[in-house]
Amino acid sequence: MRLSARPIAALVAALALTAGLSITGTPAVARPDDRPAAAEASDVSLAADTYTWKNARIDGGGFVPGIVFNRSEKNLAYARTDIGGAYRWDQAGKRWTPLLDWVDWDRWGWSGVVSLASDTAEPDNVYAAVGTYTNSWDPTNGAVLRSSDRGASWKAATLPFKLGGNMPGRGMGERLAVDPNKNSVLYLGAPSGNGLWRSTDSGVTWSEVTAFPNPGNYAQDPSDTSGYGNDNQGIVWVTFDERSGSAGSTTQDIYVGVADKENTVYRSTDGGSTWSRIAGQPTGYLAHKGVLDSSTGHLYLTLSDTGGPYDGAKGQIWRYDTESGAWTDVSPVAEADTYYGFSGISVDRQKPGTLMATAYSSWWPDTQIFRSTDSGATWTQAWDYSSYPNRSNRYTLDVSSVPWLSWGANPTPPETAPKLGWMTESLEIDPFDSDRMMYGTGATVYGTEDLTSWDSGGPFTITPMVRGLEETAVNDLASPPSGAPLLSALGDIGGFRHTDLDAVPAMMFTSPNLDSTTSLDFAEASPGTVVRVGNADAAPHIGFSTDNGANWFQGSEPSGVTGGGTVAAAADGSGFVWSPEGAGVHHTTGYGTSWTASTGIPAGATVESDRKNPKKFYGFSAGTFYVSTDGGATFTAKATGLPAEGNVRFKALPGTEGDIWLAGGASTGAYGLWRSTDSGASFTRFSGVEQADSVGFGKAASGASYQTVFVSAKIGGVRGIFRSTDAGAGWTRINDDAHQWAWTGAAITGDPRVYGRVYVSTNGRGIQVGESSDTDGPGTDPDPGTDPGTDPGEPPADADCSVTYTVTNRWSGGFQAEVRITNTGATAYDGWKLGWTFPGDQRIGQIWNASHQQTGAKVTVTDAGWNGKVAPGSSAAFGFTGTTTGDGTAPGAFTLGGENCAVG
């Protein structure tokens, strides 16, 4: 059982691969320092309809390689994920708040977080080193993001190399560190031979520390030619000895971990000017982490024979006395008895000499956690054998809040369900509370609030501390007309039947358990009939349900199947067509007791069913559309000239035979949205849609003659989630710049029972659920180029407001501005909308602390929710970057709610 955000596989052909509730507090948006990419002109309506967003709740679902507590402010903590962004702990709600949902399509790699650093001197400051892959899979370089408001808004310093939040070795660290004595100084350990980097201006600019002698040399698999396994894992952690400096002066003693088995620890004693290998250090291992207990002067190293996070067969723990220079092996078990490496380590800042460590790569029978109260001289462990195979646990594990963590398993002892964890690369004791500890696993964040019971022999309780952190990668979605509102196909944890979007499902799909579900479908006229396929180490790769996904039974499969591929159910549930990996397209009647090869369609084709005619199935491969009218037995090539590159997804309209929408392509060829009304014999492209990647349908708007269409697309130069209520004649963007979730191209579907509701796949931020503020909807969405504003009618009256508009930066073709609205009246605002008309051709690109609509020169900016209430005499502010061919002249007039504001 392996749960993780693994390297790109099926999705690498499109962009690259790889989850939570509504954002509370300040939404996070980027503010890059460098000139942003020019925004393309757009007259697409951003609509009067406002959407709210939340996750379909799962809680966790992916690898959490890093947890960081601030050491000067209680309850301030952050978590990083390998593909799903970063989070801040909300103590009041006992949940995590997402911080990187603003990451956009073009910079999707910035959703992978390789390291986090929280500033001890100024706790409002937080830094994130972002980038998902160091090879060609990620098209953009890495960056160091910096925030002065705890991740509510960000500025970016783009690096001259890539970072790898989802690369081998991603559990080591932290690679990013702030000098605790002089917080304008930061260090970053880089991969790929790029060495050690330093900033002396609080992360604004970075330069290589050329005096550092060793960029690392360890790669997971030197024979790999993809740039993934053979990448040099580089500089893996930085630790300061805070005792060697004073407030305002640079810390002198700095320790750095290097991915080099013979030279894994270096030190500077002169503030980073010179560096040397520490003599006497252990060799033959990589130091995953280095943590210094300033109370005792001990530096602890957790070591493994590999970089992790999956592998590791041997390990040790060593202690370095920074005063005497003595090295001591303080491993909790003899090296010969390890079959795992060590990684997670933390010292109790309230109790000098108390520390904990994890055996991160102990997959079977469970992970192990060790604890010492005497600086590593002796250890106890979370569980022992009473008499093999029976276990005696020091803890109780209560997963009632996230019951699927048991995987529905009933293993043979000594294995247990649920497990204590796996891939436990990060464990942190709260620096203010010796009773609280959190650790990340391949599926969740576990924690306890009675940790010191460990030392008295009594059991301590471990529970999931993961609410709000949603990290699933979504492969497919389906919303049947009856039964559960949503069925999901997920990477690593299979998928769920979501009967309540705001509750954690009791269990993932079982019988069979699939590592990743790649495709699922239901019979349109018989929604109780559901089929799913996916990846597994061995057969079966397919399951069927006759009760809308509540219960499942395993199906047989054709010879040669190696992966899930895609699957389609006949409209009445009488048969299925399956295009698995490793075998050609096959069809069956009944529930797959036997399969027959289909003819006329190539292996690997994507398959779907007509949603009315049970004998009709469709297929697509390499630019050609295929149709079967005999239940999938034979296919005939029909339309050609469709996208031959990239990922292509298509759906047939429920209730209408032969109405098909197709989205996909690549920037090097055809890319967009097409529709067929003759069962695929011909397709017509939507000229206003520049790019599209997924398409789905939902309940029609009141008075509309066609079901609502949803797409993840680029329309009018804007990337986003769009809705049409008039069969594609007009489009409305329904997300905003604070809700972009990086890559959203895998799947999208509306809800056939709730107008406006849409389910959006992400690659690491779970299932996003959008709800329209208009429960019935307009008859049609506005055409591109129309202004959805109000009738000007009579001239507006004066409002109780004053506006200050300041251009804070200019560059060739662009500018940055800040706007402040002051309430000059006697009554508080309860939400606000500020309007103006730009002189010339100015257009807003990115905006933070608000959302906006722009039609031509007319702009409407709406509060971000958290800043909507403005008391008399108080102000609300937002900022944005824009493009222009002119000088960026400020607007001369502003309106609030349609009424004039004074200009300050």
Return d(Cα 822, Cα 801) in angstroms, integer: 6
Task: Name the phi and psi angles at 404, rounded to 5.
Answer: -70, -10
Report helix, strand or coil for 109: helix
Q: How many CB atoms lie within 10 A of CB 858?
A: 13
Q: Are 904 and 822 in contact (CB under 8 A)?
A: yes
Return d(Cα 447, Cα 449) in angstroms, integer: 7
Token pair belonging to 582: 């490793």
Return d(Cα 103, Cα 28) in angstroms, integer: 9
Report helix, strand or coil for 752: coil
Which residues are CB-contacts of 838 (< 8 A; sequence separation ≥ 6)?
A: 857, 858, 859, 891
Among candidate residues 492, 610, 659, 736, the one labeled active-site is 492
Return d(Cα 436, Cα 451) in angstroms, integer: 6
Q: 492 an active-site residue?
A: yes
Q: Which amino acid is at 436?
A: R
Q: How many CB atoms lie within 10 A of CB 92?
A: 7
Q: Are 362 and 370 in contact (CB under 8 A)?
A: no
Which residues are CB-contacts of 835 (< 8 A; sequence separation ≥ 6)?
A: 858, 859, 860, 861, 894, 895, 896, 898
DSSP 456: H
Dihedral, CA of residue 776, residue 780, residue 784 and residue 790, to nearest 10? -70
Report helix, strand or coil for 544: strand
Which residues are CB-contacts of 807 (< 8 A; sequence separation ≥ 6)?
A: 815, 816, 817, 888, 890
Q: How many CB atoms lie within 10 A of CB 643?
A: 21
Among candidate residues 43, 49, 82, 521, the one labeled active-site is 82
Q: Are 359 and 370 in contact (CB under 8 A)?
A: yes
Q: Are 210 and 272 in contact (CB under 8 A)?
A: no
Residue among 301, 298, 214 at smallest CA distance from 258: 214
HEC sequence for 490-513: ECCCECCEECCCCCCCCCCCCCCC
Residue 756, sorted as left (phi over 0), alpha (psi -120 to 50) or beta, turns out to be left
- For the chain, what is the radius of gyration of the CA atoms? 28
Residue among 512, 532, 478, 311 at smallest CA distance from 407: 512
Strand partners, 90: 95
Which residues are CB-contacts of 305 (< 8 A; sequence separation ≥ 6)?
A: 261, 284, 285, 286, 312, 313, 314, 315, 341
- In b/e form, how buried is each residue of 421-447, taking b as 16+ CB within 10 angstroms? bbbbbbbbbbbbbbebbbbbbbbbbbb
10 Å CB burial of residue 396 (0-12, 13-18, 19+) is exposed
Q: 374 an active-site residue?
A: no
User: Terminus-to-terminus CA distance in the chain, angstroms?
Assistant: 62
DSSP assignment of 123-155 equals TT-EEEEE-S-SSTTS-S--EEEEESSTTSEEE
Residue among 393, 423, 417 at smallest CA distance from 405: 417
Q: How many CB atoms lie within 10 A of CB 703?
A: 11
Quick one: how many helices (H) and strands (E) in the chain? 1, 70
Angle subtended at Cα 765 by Cα 761 and Cα 770, rounded to the nearest 5 degrees: 55
Which residues are designated catalytic? 82, 492
